[in-house]
Amino acid sequence: MEMPSPWYTRLDKRRLTLAETVLFGILGGMTFLAKILMAGLPNIEPVSLLVMLFAVTFGRKALYPIYVYVLLEFVLYGVNLWSINYLYIWLILAAAARLLRGMTHPLGWALLSGVFGLFFGLLCAPLYGFTGGWAFAVSWWISGIPYDLAHCAGNFLLALALFGPLRKLLNRLYQGIVRR
Amino acid sequence: MKNRKLFAAAAVVLVLIAVFAGVWFAARPATSEGAKTITVEVVHRDARSKTFTYHTDKEYLGEVLQAEGLVKGEPGDYGLYITEVDGESAVFETDGAYWSFYQGGEYANQSVDQTPINDGDAFSLVYTVG
């Protein structure tokens, strides 16, 4: 019977190595750069795809590249009301991806990413309920539905095409770093 | 079995898409055809105010403002993000400045290109910081 590892070794596993620190910094920066480069494409963003990839590859450590990206957003665009959305919204997707990490079919990942795009406005709306009232939040969400539908389609297609190959690539890269 | 689950999930997503589209369709503001006269007040950084009057048969405000050259912008996550009005730019990245948009004196919850216009409508674009 396998003995559970003592708490200090579990903590140690969560500590970042130098290589991991560098990797997560680069991936967070690349996420930000990819978003800027794709900003011209209407409602097609790479962040959802990358957050899912980080969650299935790095587990809890996915929080590092995700929040490096969020921090870069805050540094470049400033801290505003919408910034609060960015503090929790990616966590929801990362948690869902982590729960579904055993899923292998690209269609499943495309559906998850598509649903996240579809619900993006709805997940952001509660914040506007606190600041502008619930009627404003509902009206804000409804007026943005056409964009959420486009976001859903963009996320679906991007994940369908790229999740599988990028997962293999990132996994190979990370295993290489962990083994060193 | 796995494929059956995936197809069931895909069907649920399609239903959700239909529900969301239905909600938007049922709640969307109505547009009106024909000639309309609208006013757009621009409040600049130095609090200087200018009012523009347009006669148009277009259905959405964004089309009018861009055709008249009053605003410039770029596609944002939720519609046109206005970067310049009446020759004055607001650069959020520099000092948190942006153009806020009001419809009938109320802060609007949609972009100008999503805003239908009716005869006699009054809009404001206000240079805002922070």
Question: Which CATH number do you get for residue A36?
Answer: 1.10.1760
Among A132, A142, A147, the residue with its CB nearest the CB of B77 is A147
Name the 3-class secondary structure at B83.
Answer: strand
The ipTM assigned to this model is: 0.83
Between residues B29 and A144, the one the model is more confident about? A144
Beta strands in B8-130 (DSSP E): 36-43, 49-56, 71-76, 79-85, 88-89, 97-103, 106-107, 122-129
Q: Span B81-105, mean pLDDT?
A: 90
Provide the domain limits for residue A153: 14-179
Query: B24: which chain A residues are within 8 Å (Cβ-Cβ)?
Result: 142, 145-146
Q: Which amino acid is at B96?
A: G
Residue A107 to residue B6, Cβ atoms within 8 A: yes
| Sites in chain A below the pLDDT cut of 50 | 1-2, 6-12
Residue A13: the pLDDT is 61
Residue B74: the pLDDT is 83
Cα–Cα dist B123/B65, whole Å: 11
Name the 3-class secondary structure at B92.
Answer: helix
Q: Span B19-37, mean pLDDT?
A: 86
Residue B25: the pLDDT is 92
Please indicate, yes or no, if residue A154 is contained in any of the structural domains: yes
Please indicate, yes or no, if residue A8 is contained in any of the structural domains: no
What are the pLDDT digits (tens) for B70-82? Answer: 999 887 777 888 9
Please indicate, yes or no, if residue A1 is contained in any of the structural domains: no
Task: Indicate the pairing of strand B88-89 with strand B79-85.
Answer: antiparallel
Percent of chain B at pLDDT > 70 equals 98
* CA distances for A174 relative to A27, A83, A94, A166, B104, angstroms: 12, 30, 18, 12, 55
What are the pLDDT digits (tens) for B47-67? Answer: 999 999 999 988 889 999 999
Q: How confident is residue B1, by pLDDT bands cut at 50, 70 and 90?
A: low
Please indicate, yes or no, if residue A147 is contained in any of the structural domains: yes
Name which of A98, A83, A18 is nearest A51 in CA terms. Answer: A98
Please indicate, yes or no, if residue A168 is contained in any of the structural domains: yes
Please indicate, yes or no, if residue A7 is contained in any of the structural domains: no
Q: How confident is residue B32, by pLDDT bands cut at 50, 70 and 90?
A: confident
Task: Indicate the pairing of strand B122-129 with strand B97-103.
Answer: antiparallel
* A145: nearest CA partner in chain B: B24
- The mean predicted confidence, pLDDT, of chain B is 89
Domain count, chain A: 1
Among A43, A108, A114, the residue with its CB nearest the CB of B6 is A108
Residue B93 to residue A76, Cβ atoms within 8 A: yes
| Best mutation target, A145, A149, A155, A157, to test chain B (most B CBs within 10 A) | A145
Residue A67: the pLDDT is 97
